[in-house]
Amino acid sequence: MKILICGVPYGRDNIGDEAILECVVRILKEISSEIRITVSTDQPDMTSQLLGVRTCPLFGFHEPRWDEDQLDAAIRDHDLILWGGATGLSDYPEYTLQIFERAQKMGKKTAVFCTGMNDRLNPYLYEIQPGVKRILQRLVAIGSFGLVDTIRIRESRRKARAISRIKRFIESTNAVIVRDEETRTNLLAAGIERDDIIVACDPAITIRTFDGETVPEGNAVNCPSRIGICISSQSPVKKSGKLALCLDRIIEEYGADLYMIPMNPLTDRVYMCQLREKMRNRDRFHDYHGSELPSAVTDYAAGMDLIISSRLHLLILATVSLVPVIGISRGSKVDSFLGQLGLESAGSVESPDFNFLLKETGRLLHSGAEYRQNSISVLNEMKARLDLGTRRLEALVTGDQEVEIATA
């Protein structure tokens, strides 16, 4: 079978997406060495070299979104079009659904594999952002004495159209294997009538570590505690000055050194360097100079005593090595993941809880053994769910009825 993995902005400087891709490719190769895999990516040469796959252009995340002839040729050349993870069902369904609807019209098999859906559609796509347009529509509402709320009406229509489109696709695709129970709940809440949705987990929990680069830069050998930090530049934490003060207190109260672990090596690092300049103890907040390969970042995170992150995939890569984590929510996906570990987030990027962050840092730095024991149990549960999802994918790929029956 020839499989095209797409629907995620691979090759766009997101280590989390690349971790997903690496693991999905390995899962497919373990199903059958005869599968021919192609990845839609913005870094074709590097992806091909690292993963041993064919590549084609990244469809759906550029303007223009694609060359129609190239897209159609790529779809025609494959038997199965696979939506390969991430949170695309809520973050960017418009881009990806056009690809999969096109594939279905050509009679191709399609499947969702470990893709997630937040409890809220991407506000940057489905909500009118602050600016002239929002001001004008607010004036209309004021002029009508609140009887005509054009902002609410337009946003509701946008979201309703998106949900309807997601519903049609999910009900017609060949297999639906989702990332977590939250995604399944959100799909069912959208009115989807399908009783064979399989809840797996994020494939990145099976990432394999990288030899070397396990000792962080700076004073890691001598300091009492090493804490890895990633704050997303995509959704920065509000009140960054207070965040800087909180990080200073963590350094001073727990004798910790902090280490940047940017999951977007370009933009996250720039943002965290700016954050560091607001700190008193900026010399204790060290740059990351290691490899950008997901396995190397996983290895680096394994050398930490604690991870604080608003990026989901750093939380996942840390959990692989049983390193305690504190999440700052930037969407329900972070809350959902932490909930599986019995943890709460330190507020959200819009409304961070710095007191909780400080106290939780102290608690987790002193409860390593208990935390690791719980994490082992959670990881085993996740892997069992992923195994179930993999068997469903195997049934679709191989047409093996016995595998299909076992999955059911």
pLDDT for residue 318: 95
Residue 219 has pLDDT above 70, yes or no: no
**Residue 65 lies inside a defined structural domain of this protein:** yes
For residues 77 and 178, membership in a common domain is answered with yes
Same-domain status, 136 and 230: no
Residue 41 lies in a domain: yes
Instruction: Check: CB of residue 292 under 8 Å from CB of residue 261.
Output: no
Tell me the residue range of the domain where 341 lies.
225-366
CA dihedral sign, ordered 40, 43, 47, 49: positive
Residue 272 maps to a domain: yes
Q: Is the pLDDT of residue 218 over 70?
A: no
Condensed to tens digits (0 to 9), the pLDDT of residues 319-372 reads 999 999 999 999 899 999 999 999 999 999 999 999 999 999 999 998 877 888
Same domain, 189 and 250: no
Q: Tell me: the pLDDT tens digits for 37-89? A: 999 999 999 999 999 999 999 999 988 889 999 999 999 999 999 999 999 99
| 169 and 103 part of one domain | yes
Which region among 66-70, 250-254, 286-290, 326-330 has the lowest average model confidence (pLDDT)? 286-290
- In 10 A of CB 141, how many CB atoms? 16
Is residue 216 within 8 A of residue 299, CB to CB? The reply is no
- Do the domain assignments include residue 73? yes
Question: Looking at residue 25, what is its pLDDT?
Answer: 98
Interatomic CA distance for residues 313 and 205, integer angstroms: 9
Same domain, 351 and 239: yes
Question: Based on the domain organization, do 271 and 399 belong to the same domain?
Answer: no
Query: According to the model, what pLDDT value does residue 143 have?
Result: 57
Same domain assignment for residues 46 and 117: yes
Q: Do 257 and 296 reside in the same domain of the chain?
A: yes
Task: Specify the CATH number for the domain of residue 99.
Answer: 3.40.50.2000
Residues 132 and 230 in one domain: no
Are 330 and 296 in a shared domain? yes
In the prediction, which pLDDT does 138 show?
55
If one compares 136 and 44, the residue with the highest pLDDT of the two is 44
**What's the CA gap between 81 and 59, in Å, rounded?**
13
pLDDT of residue 212: 39
Task: Give the pLDDT score at 331.
Answer: 86
Per-residue confidence (pLDDT) for residue 150, from 0 to 100: 65
Q: Are residues 233 and 289 in the same domain?
A: yes
Question: What's the confidence (pLDDT) of residue 142?
Answer: 56
Residue 155 forms part of a structural domain:
no
Specify the number of domains making up the chain.
Answer: 2
Does residue 221 register a pLDDT over 60? no
Place of tokens 């995170």: 301
Q: Between the CA of residue 398 and those of 31, 35, 155, 291, what are the distances in Å? A: 9, 10, 42, 36
Cα(345)–Cα(338) distance, integer angstroms: 7
Which of these, 291, 297, 340, 112, lies nearest to 207 by C-alpha position? 297
62 and 202 belong to one structural domain:
yes
| Residue 231 in domain | yes
Inside any domain, residue 380: no
Let me know if residue 114 belongs to a domain.
yes
CA distance 351 to 366: 26
pLDDT at 312 over 70: yes
